[in-house]
Structure 1
Amino acid sequence: MNDKKTTHFGFQEVPVEEKAERVAEVFHSVAAKYDVMNDLMSAGIHRLWKRFTIEASGVRAGHKVLDIAGGTGDLSYQFAKLVGSNGQVVLADINASMLGVGRDRLTDRGIAGNINFAQCDAQFLPFPDNTFDCITIAFGLRNVTDKDMALRSMLRVLKPGGRLLVLEFSKPQSEILSKIYDTYSFKVLPFMGKLVTNDAESYRYLAESIRMHPDQQTLKEMMDNAGFVRTEFHNMTGGIVALHKGIKP
């Protein structure tokens, strides 16, 4: 009998201890062209999803913000402007290549002084209890091996009354949209990945990982079970993307 624990990597079953390394390989591969591909894949709509997230965050001057899976720094850039010189933003990512791209981009855009960088795993956040006013994780939770552990880790480092925002691909609300989205994800995305990054496989994984991610209601229940209160979600683009919000009691 095989007792070895497995988890999903896209549609594959892999040993739990291998998933993080495999995800890392995907993002090492796509880091340099990540922003270009985001704009192409979403026709620029990802910027609107992120703007909505910023507006829902309630972040203001003096706040401490943790941007998990912050990658190339889109959210961190906006947060750094909002928190001002008395606030602090931590851009965290498990992937060194993505973190390097994010650091370079933010430096080029003149952001310094109130931003720090941390290479860390969302399941084991290396920060004291009750540190942050707000935590965001945008398009990163589906890549985490143990999502329940990560949600509990985020709850721990939030201040009481602080909020978590999870921006993630989710389940389209209509059958027609779902079919169109499937065709796009499994036919067009890998082709674009091959064209732009010479890497179809990484974008096939991204499409598969979206399908394996919990739907809107399931993720809300996971946040409830982790200890968040007043949890809710807002569908965008017909449910292709959802923003989940929860408060630490």
Structure 2
Amino acid sequence: MPPGPEGLLAADRSSSYTVPVVPDAANPERKRAYVRAMFSAIARRYDLLNSLLSLGLHKRWKRYAVELATPPPGGLALDVCCGTGDLALLLKERLGPTGRAVGVDFAEPMVRLARQRGAGLPGVWFVQADAEALPFPQDSVDVAAVGFGVRNVARVERALEELWRVLKPGGRLVVLEFSAPRNRMFAALYDFYSYTVVPWLGRRLSRHPDAYLYLPTSIRSWPDQDAFADRLRQAGFVRVGYRNLLFGAVAVHVADKPGVLPQEPGLARANSVKTGPTGPREVRR
């Protein structure tokens, strides 16, 4: 059993908030067990939690991420750390009737809920598996996406290596993740919202309010946009870039596996996007 969240509380010296200590990368097994247990416990409230943390905008951002992914009609798309399956279902819409979308999550309750959502839809599957050991052959996937999940992986570099392995040459990875707001005033407001309002709601809406503290803390400890872009390059990806959303509180990272691009018009369209669904943000490509 992972240590209880009550044993993982500490005062954050950079603020007045009391936050849970995120299990660090030096102990990946401890983090893996903690995160799996937490997401298994909050699976039925997961979509609500995403709505709270994103100010209700996460579904709109996911559609934007899928637009940048440019999944080819009839192709195979992978949604890693799929949660309840939002990205897999959106990818399937773009893949068309002959396309296939597979969602992967290591928390069995999440997979069960995703399967319920995808029941009866042809070409959509959900499997229980770890992002660090994807059950797919090398060079088999056209597009891979990760939505608000990569920061919770125990060994991020290993997961990026796996994503690179399963993508076809020229395949595209899109990572949608909370990040570092560029505007200081907005950053202060978002911190207050994340560490005060969200936990307050969590105590009233969930039997696991500690999760509503862990997740904002995991966001704060996550590398900023440029640092994560460097990680993608170190993993072997090329044409790495990102789009900031909500003043940088969220970033959509786009990266390609070297090789012949499967869909040149799609890449051109993705690179031409200059405005996002939520207003001002930086463009880096």
Instruction: Trace 1:16-27 onto structure 2 (pairs within 5 A).
Output: 16-27=28-39
Task: Give me the identity figure in percent.
Answer: 38
Gaps of 5+ in 2: 1-18, 259-285
Contact 1:84–1:114 (Cα < 8 Å) also in 2: no
1:162 deviates by: 0.4
Contact 1:193–1:203 (Cα < 8 Å) also in 2: yes
Deviation string, structure 1 residues 126-185 (Cα, Å, up to 9, x no partner) = 211001110000000000111111111100000001000010000000111111111111
Q: TM-score, normalised by structure 1?
A: 0.91
Question: 2:55 & 2:223 partners in 1: Cα distance?
Answer: 25
Q: Secondary structure at the match of 2:132?
A: helix
Which residue matches 2:48?
Answer: 36
Question: 1:41 & 1:227 partners in 2: Cα distance?
Answer: 31
Which residue matches 1:169?
Answer: 178
Tell whether 2:40 aligns with 1:11. no
Which residue matches 2:143?
Answer: 134
1:232 deviates by: 0.2
Q: Aligned pair count?
A: 238
Q: Say which structure is richer in helix.
A: 1
Which residue matches 1:46?
Answer: 58
Which residue matches 1:79?
Answer: 91
Gaps of 5+ in 1: 1-8
Contact 2:104–2:126 (Cα < 8 Å) also in 1: yes
Deviation string, structure 1 residues 186-237 (Cα, Å, up to 9, x no partner) = 1111111121113220110001111111110000000000000000011000
Cα distance change of structure 1 residues 70 and 13 upon mapping to structure 2, 3 Å threshold: closer
Question: 1:147 & 1:114 partners in 2: Cα distance?
Answer: 28
Q: TM-score, normalised by structure 2?
A: 0.80
4+ runs of 1 displaced by more than 6 Å? none
Cα distance change of structure 1 residues 46 and 12 upon mapping to structure 2, 3 Å threshold: closer
Contact 1:137–1:166 (Cα < 8 Å) also in 2: yes
Superposed CA RMSD: 1.5
Q: Secondary structure at the match of 1:127?
A: coil
1:38 deviates by: 2.5
Which residue matches 1:183?
Answer: 192
